[in-house]
Chain A
């Protein structure tokens, strides 16, 4: 069973540009969550998508957006990049079988996309 895949694995952009990151969850998983990890701020939650709808959202500016497709694949977009957006962006998927409006079941993380903004 293939794990969570993220593309690209590495990316270099310049300030002001925009970027789109992709996450393919494990087959059958319906929930995809995105996280940002930096040495200074640690791991921070960006948002979670379930059945093509954003269910939960962390405290990030509107420059950070995402979407989920009918096959559960998800994309994250960051517009007008800033130097501080340099980070490892992780996505995680889970089955999310429960009725609770939350991340449920075991999460599986992808390897991450390392974004460097120059």
Chain B
């Protein structure tokens, strides 16, 4: 069965720290991997990754995919309290899409 596993489940850091969130997957017919940020409301799309080794960046956030080792990482540098959220990883596989349980990031001032 297809599965997406995120680690750690939760993380507490201080402002200015750099964090790395992990997402590993085992799916059939991989198509893409997506990252989302969810605060108290609906998710916000961050990145969509389809090719190995190509880093996507958006401000302090970056992500990369390794299709050989079946994982992706999401990096956040110089964290701010506004980065506190649940970060979700999802994998499109075949006609389906599977989400991980999320990593809850708390950034303390």
Q: Which residues of A contact B (CB under 8 A)?
A: 42-45, 55-59, 90, 92, 100, 102-112
Q: How far apart sit A109 and B40, CA to CA, in the bound complex (Å)?
A: 13
B83: CB under 8 A from chain A? no
Q: How far apart sit A59 and B96, CA to CA, in the bound complex (Å)?
A: 7
Q: A43-B88, A102-B31 are in contact. Are A112 and B42 (CB under 8 A)?
A: yes
How far apart are B30's CB and chain A's nearest CB, in angstroms?
11
Contact yes or no, A57 B95, CB < 8 A = yes
How far apart are B10's CB and chain A's nearest CB, in angstroms?
14
Q: A107-B45, A112-B42 are in contact. Are A56 and B99 (CB under 8 A)?
A: no
Tell me the B29-81 residues at the A interface (CB within 8 Å). 31-32, 34, 41-45, 48
Q: How far apart sit A56 and B93, CA to CA, in the bound complex (Å)?
A: 10
Q: Give the A-B pair count, Cβ closer than 8 A.
A: 56
Q: Which residues of B contact A (CB under 8 A)?
A: 31-32, 34, 41-45, 48, 88, 90, 92, 95-102
Contact yes or no, B95 A90, CB < 8 A = no
Residues of A within 8 A of B102 (CB): 42-43
Q: Across the two chains, which residue of chain A brings its CB closest to B43?
A: A109
| CB contact between A43 and one of B43, B92, B96 (< 8 Å): that residue | B43
Contact yes or no, B32 A109, CB < 8 A = no
Q: Across the two chains, which residue of chain A brings its CB closest to B95?
A: A56
Residues of A within 8 A of B99 (CB): 42-45
Contact yes or no, A103 B92, CB < 8 A = yes
Residues of A within 8 A of B42 (CB): 90, 92, 109-112
Contact yes or no, A45 B96, CB < 8 A = yes
Residues of B within 8 A of A57 (CB): 95-96
Contact yes or no, B97 A58, CB < 8 A = yes
| CB contact between A108 and one of B32, B45, B95 (< 8 Å): that residue | B45
Those 10 A-B pairs whose CB atoms lie nearest each other, nearest first: A45-B97, A109-B42, A56-B95, A43-B99, A107-B45, A106-B45, A102-B31, A58-B96, A109-B43, A42-B101
